[in-house]
Amino acid sequence: MTKLTPKQSKNSSAARASAPGFWRCMAAIVYDALLLLAVLFLATALLLPFNSGQAFTSNQIFFPVYLLAISFAFYGWFWTHGGQTLGLRAWKIKILTVDQKPLSWRHALLRFCAALLSWTVVGCGFLWLMVDKNQRSWHDHLSKTALFMSPPDK
């Protein structure tokens, strides 16, 4: 058995905990957005009978709040149960706290709300990945989370 020198072990742990690139993150976001869209269609179909089968109007505040809650439940459940949505799993990315621990529901809520903020400012929070030295977005910083490349499956 070969023993690793401190420099080799440091490099191997750095490779394991490397941050994914901008385009890989964007690909995972698109993948998850398509899945979320399907979930939101189903959630809407389940609610339509309670609205007499009519489309929802802009003065019905419950509907957007309902869809927002469904969206949080979708992301929150995946993030707190393994740290990967299906898109993140497909692109071999994992979400953990900055000290590489699994996310709690509190972290998930902070990350979700901060991600909404990142989108509302014309996506600048996501573009921040390209200029941040640790490749972390605004919502990573605000929720004290980070994206890591997941180790290959054996």
What are phi and psi for residue 86, nearest 5 degrees?
-65, -35
Name the band, by pLDDT with cuts 50, 70 and 90, for residue 17: low
Rounded distance between C-alpha atoms, residue 79 and residue 126, angstroms: 18
| pLDDT at residue 55, rounded to an integer | 76
| pLDDT at residue 5, rounded to an integer | 39
| pLDDT at residue 123, rounded to an integer | 87
Q: Which residues pair with 96 in a beta bridge?
A: 146
Kindly list the distances between the CA atom of residue 57 and the CA atoms of 36, 39, 46, in Å, as whole numbers in the listed order.
Answer: 21, 20, 17
Rounded distance between C-alpha atoms, residue 11 and residue 118, angstroms: 32
Name the band, by pLDDT with cuts 50, 70 and 90, for residue 4: very low
| pLDDT at residue 19, rounded to an integer | 87
Residue 45 amino acid letter = A
**Least confident piece of the model among 14-18, 78-82, 107-111, 140-144:** 14-18
The model's pLDDT over 80-126, given as tens digits with 9 standing for 90+, comes to 999 999 999 999 999 999 999 999 999 999 999 999 999 998 888 89
**What's the whole-model pTM score?**
0.82
Q: Which residues pair with 145 in a beta bridge?
A: 97
